[in-house]
Amino acid sequence: MYDKKKSDHEYYLTHKDRLKKYKEEYNLAHDEERKKQKHDYYIAKRDGTWQPRPRLFDRKKWSHDYWLAHREKRTKQIKEWERNHPHYRQQLRIKWKVKTLTHYGNGKLACVECGENRLPCLSLDHINNDGVLHRKSLGNKRSYIYRVLEKEDYPEGYQTLCMNCQFIKKIAIDHRDSHY
């Protein structure tokens, strides 16, 4: 297998003297230019007129323009890829769910109340019972709640509960709030 790093090092060792000589010549030829650039930079910094060089390539704009120009082609490619990888999104959501529930389960993929550890039984519980507000604030990202929490660096206020414990908690809250 080709190893670029090793190949470059071998080239350097065999042409060491020639490369050093070239570097010295280049530095001598461009020394005045570099000194002027450095001088201008420090003067501009001191005066407060220094501006970073404008970006020659704006990746976001290029990406958007490319998408607009090739929308139909890209849409076909994406649909075909999704047809060839039908379970990709599902596997990704399961991965995010496992990671998030493990975090909120105190390092274990289990209910913090009873210890239930079957993934289909586990869910995320809003400790302060503000789940409705949170789901409304997420809007169309609701199905990606596990990913959203991961991106927000796992904020406080959540715990991993099994569905039985969730139901018991809801009944207890309803009973407490009712006026029997």
Which residue type occupies 36? K
Partner residues linked to 17 by β-bridges: none
Question: Is residue 114 within 8 Å of residue 164, measured between CB atoms?
Answer: yes
**Sequence-ordered list of residues with C-beta below 8 angstroms from that of 37, at least 6 positions apart, any chain:** none
Question: pTM of the full predicted structure?
Answer: 0.57
pLDDT at 1: 64
Q: Give the position of tokens 């890209």.
A: 74
Closest CA to 132 of 122, 119, 145, 120: 145
According to DSSP, the β-strands at 122-126 and 158-162 are antiparallel
Listed in sequence order, the residues at least 6 apart from 117 whose beta carbon sits closer than 8 Å to its beta carbon are: 108, 109, 110, 111
Stated as kind and residue range, the H or E segment containing 20 is helix 16-47
Both tokens assigned to 89: 């999104």
Per residue of the chain (180 residues), what is the pLDDT tens digit? 678 888 888 898 999 999 999 999 998 888 888 888 888 888 888 888 877 777 777 888 888 999 999 999 999 999 999 999 989 988 998 999 999 999 999 999 999 999 999 999 999 999 988 888 888 887 776 668 888 888 889 999 999 999 999 999 988 888 777 655
CB 143 within 8 A of CB 107: no
41: phi then psi, degrees, rounded to nearest 5: -65, -50
Kindly state the helix (H) or strand (E) to which residue 59 belongs, with its residue range. helix 59-69
Burial of 110 (0-12, 13-18, 19+ CB in 10 A): buried
